[in-house]
Amino acid sequence: MSVPKNRESVRRPPSLALPRKGGGNGALRIEKLCRACVAPTQAFLSFGALPLANALVAPDAPSSEEERYPLTLTVCTSCRLVQLAETVDPAKLFRQYVYLSSMSPAFVEHAGRLARRLIAERALGPASKVVEIASNDGYLLQHYREAGVPVIGIDPAVNVAQVAAQRDIQTICEFFTAELAGSLKARGEQADVLHANNVLAHVADLPDFVAGIAAILRPDGVAVIEFPYLRELIANLEFDTVYHEHLCYFSLTPLVALFRQCGLAVNQVERIPVHGGSLRLFVQHAGAAGPHPSVADMLAQEIAWGVADDATYRGFASATTQLRDSIPSFLRQLRARGRSMAAYGASAKGATLLNYCGIGRETIDAVFDRSPLKQGLAMPGVRIPIRAADELVRARPDYTLLLAWNFSDEIIAQQAEYCRNGGRFIVPVPSPRIVPAEADSGHAPP
Ligand SMILES: [Zn+2]
- Model confidence at 5, pLDDT cuts 50, 70, 90, reads very low
C-alpha span between 249 and 242 (Å, rounded) = 8
Q: How far is the CA of 26 from the centre of ligand 1 (A)?
A: 25
User: Which helix H or strand E contains 412, and what residues bound it?
Assistant: helix 408-414
Q: How far is the CA of 326 from the centre of ligand 1 (A)?
A: 33
Residue pair 248/206 in contact by the 8 Å Cβ criterion = yes
Contacts of 64 (CB under 8 A, 6+ apart): none
Q: How far is the CA of 248 from the centre of ligand 1 (A)?
A: 11
Rounded to the nearest 5°, which phi and psi values hold at 402? -85, 100
Q: Dihedral of CA 246/27/90/85: which sign? A: positive
Q: Judge whether residue 446 has pLDDT over 70.
A: no
C-alpha span between 73 and 99 (Å, rounded) = 24
Per DSSP, 204 falls in state S
Q: How far is the CA of 168 from the centre of ligand 1 (A)?
A: 40
**Tens digit of each residue's pLDDT (9 = 90 or more) over 244-291:** 999 999 999 999 999 999 999 999 999 998 877 899 999 999 999 888
C-alpha distances (whole Å) from 323 to each of 79, 310, 330, 339, 414 are: 28, 20, 10, 22, 28
Q: How far is the CA of 413 from the centre of ligand 1 (A)?
A: 42
Q: How far is the CA of 21 from the centre of ligand 1 (A)?
A: 13
Greatest C-alpha distance within the chain: 69
Q: How far is the CA of 39 from the centre of ligand 1 (A)?
A: 5
Q: Judge whether residue 104 has pLDDT over 80.
A: no
C-alpha span between 276 and 208 (Å, rounded) = 28
Q: List the domains of the chain with CATH numbers.
A: 1-291 (3.40.50.150), 312-443 (3.40.50.720)
Q: How far is the CA of 75 from the centre of ligand 1 (A)?
A: 8
The SS3 call for residue 115 is helix
Number of H helices, E strands in the chain: 14, 19
Q: How far is the CA of 259 from the centre of ligand 1 (A)?
A: 12
Q: How far is the CA of 201 from the centre of ligand 1 (A)?
A: 14
Q: How far is the CA of 40 from the centre of ligand 1 (A)?
A: 8
**Which residue, 143, 226, 167, 224, is CA-closest to 191?**
224
Q: How far is the CA of 131 from the centre of ligand 1 (A)?
A: 28
End-to-end CA distance of the chain: 47
Average pLDDT, the chain: 89
Q: Decide the pairing of beta strands 386-388 and 151-154.
A: unpaired
Per-residue pLDDT, averaged over 148-167, amounts to 89
Q: Report pTM.
A: 0.88
Question: For the chain, how big is the Rg over CA atoms in Å?
Answer: 22
Lateral strand order in the sheet of 424-427:
386-388, 367-369, 341-344, 399-402, 424-427, 433-435
Lateral strand order in the sheet of 248-249:
41-51, 68-76, 82-84, 248-249
Per-residue pLDDT, averaged over 199-209, amounts to 94
In this predicted structure, which of 282-286, 314-318, 411-415 has the lowest mean pLDDT? 411-415
**Tens digit of each residue's pLDDT (9 = 90 or more) over 126-142:** 999 999 999 998 999 99
Q: How far is the CA of 88 from the centre of ligand 1 (A)?
A: 20
Rounded to the nearest 5°, which phi and psi values hold at 142? -55, -30
Q: How far is the CA of 301 from the centre of ligand 1 (A)?
A: 19
- Model confidence at 147, pLDDT cuts 50, 70, 90, reads very high
- Model confidence at 62, pLDDT cuts 50, 70, 90, reads confident
Q: How far is the CA of 80 from the centre of ligand 1 (A)?
A: 6
Q: How far is the CA of 439 from the centre of ligand 1 (A)?
A: 50
C-alpha span between 52 and 381 (Å, rounded) = 9
Q: How far is the CA of 253 from the centre of ligand 1 (A)?
A: 10
C-alpha span between 114 and 170 (Å, rounded) = 20
Q: How far is the CA of 293 from the centre of ligand 1 (A)?
A: 25
Q: How far is the CA of 260 from the centre of ligand 1 (A)?
A: 13
In this predicted structure, which of 12-26, 101-115, 170-184, 249-263 has the lowest mean pLDDT? 12-26
In this predicted structure, which of 85-94, 122-131, 363-372, 412-421 has the lowest mean pLDDT? 85-94
Burial of 30 (0-12, 13-18, 19+ CB in 10 A): middle
Q: How far is the CA of 83 from the centre of ligand 1 (A)?
A: 9
Q: Judge whether residue 165 has pLDDT over 60.
A: yes
Q: How far is the CA of 130 from the centre of ligand 1 (A)?
A: 31
Per DSSP, 157 falls in state -
Percent of the chain scoring above 70 in pLDDT: 90
Q: How far is the CA of 82 from the centre of ligand 1 (A)?
A: 8
Q: How far is the CA of 74 from the centre of ligand 1 (A)?
A: 11
pLDDT for position 439: 66
Lateral strand order in the sheet of 171-172:
171-172, 151-154, 130-133, 191-197, 217-228, 278-285, 264-272
Residue 210: HSE in the Cβ half-sphere, 13 Å Cα cutoff: 26
Rounded to the nearest 5°, which phi and psi values hold at 116? -60, -40
The stretches of 205-359 forming alpha helices (DSSP H) are 206-216, 230-235, 252-261, 293-305, 310-336, 348-357
C-alpha span between 302 and 271 (Å, rounded) = 13
Q: How far is the CA of 267 from the centre of ligand 1 (A)?
A: 21
C-alpha span between 137 and 100 (Å, rounded) = 6
pLDDT for position 65: 79
Q: How far is the CA of 37 from the centre of ligand 1 (A)?
A: 4
Enumerate the β-bridge partners of residue 86.
Answer: 30
Q: Judge whether residue 53 has pLDDT over 50.
A: yes
**Which residue, 36, 105, 425, is CA-closest to 248?**
36
Q: How far is the CA of 445 from the centre of ligand 1 (A)?
A: 43
C-alpha span between 22 and 32 (Å, rounded) = 6
Q: Judge whether residue 7 has pLDDT over 80.
A: no
Q: How far is the CA of 271 from the centre of ligand 1 (A)?
A: 23
C-alpha span between 171 and 173 (Å, rounded) = 6
